[in-house]
């Protein structure tokens, strides 16, 4: 059995607190035509390096019914800068166009099979997975970027076309699992990552 959510599978529900003081579930986004759930954090250089490209993509497709939801599942014990207070500070500073949710128990990351930060999951109007993987091919330094897989998937989705490349390997730091060292990931995941 693969660790990460498979193409065609339904989005997994969650109920998580966000930096805006509210809690959100999958149903909170029922008015969104399409949903992008992505696992992210505060400190990872691959996240920091590509956040502005992710922002541009989120803003580009907002009027086409695409809503972005960022989830931080990293252990604050492993990386204190990934705690909720730092999340709030980050959103105040950058004002990203997405909700930023805290998955302290890491249950949502496990349900989705999040491998890295960032790791994107794009769901259609029926909340079926139509794309998962990386945002871009050089998230740490987007000046070297030649492919924006997330943008292409959203362009195809919002144009009513099939997604030509539904699966890519996410590029980034491993999700920081509670009680594990910084490089650990579930054994099922290891064969999925290049």
Q: What is the pLDDT of residue 194?
A: 33
Q: Which residues pair with 17 in a beta bridge?
A: 23
By DSSP bridging, strand 34-39 and strand 66-72 are parallel
- At 63-72, the pLDDT tens digits run 999 999 999 9
Report pLDDT digits (tens) over 38-78: 999 999 999 999 999 999 999 999 999 999 999 999 999 98
Per-residue pLDDT at 182: 53
Q: 10 Å Cβ neighbour count for 76? A: 19
Instruction: Check pLDDT > 60 for residue 165.
Output: yes
Cα(60)–Cα(54) distance, integer angstroms: 10
pTM exceeds 0.85, yes or no: yes
């Amino acid at each position: 059995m693969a660790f990460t959510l498979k193409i065609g599978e339904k989005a997994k529900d969650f109920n998580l607190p966000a930096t805006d003081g509210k809690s959100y579930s999958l149903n909170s986004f029922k008015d969104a035509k399409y949903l992008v759930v992505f696992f992210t954090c505060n400190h990872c250089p691959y996240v920091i390096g590509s956040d502005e490209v992710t922002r541009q993509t989120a803003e580009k497709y907002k009027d086409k019914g695409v809503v972005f939801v960022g989830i931080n599942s990293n252990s604050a014990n492993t990386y204190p800068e990934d705690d909720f207070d730092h999340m709030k500070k980050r959103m105040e500073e950058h004002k990203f166009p997405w909700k930023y949710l805290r998955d302290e128990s890491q249950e949502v990351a496990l349900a989705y099979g999040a491998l890295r930060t960032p790791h994107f999951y794009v769901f259609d109007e029926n909340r079926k997975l139509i794309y998962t993987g990386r945002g871009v091919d050089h998230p740490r330094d987007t000046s070297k970027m030649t492919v924006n897989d997330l943008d292409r998937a959203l362009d195809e989705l919002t144009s009513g076309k099939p997604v030509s490349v539904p699966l890519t390997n996410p590029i980034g730091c491993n999700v920081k699992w509670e009680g594990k060292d910084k490089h650990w990931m579930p054994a099922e995941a290891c064969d999925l990552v290049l």
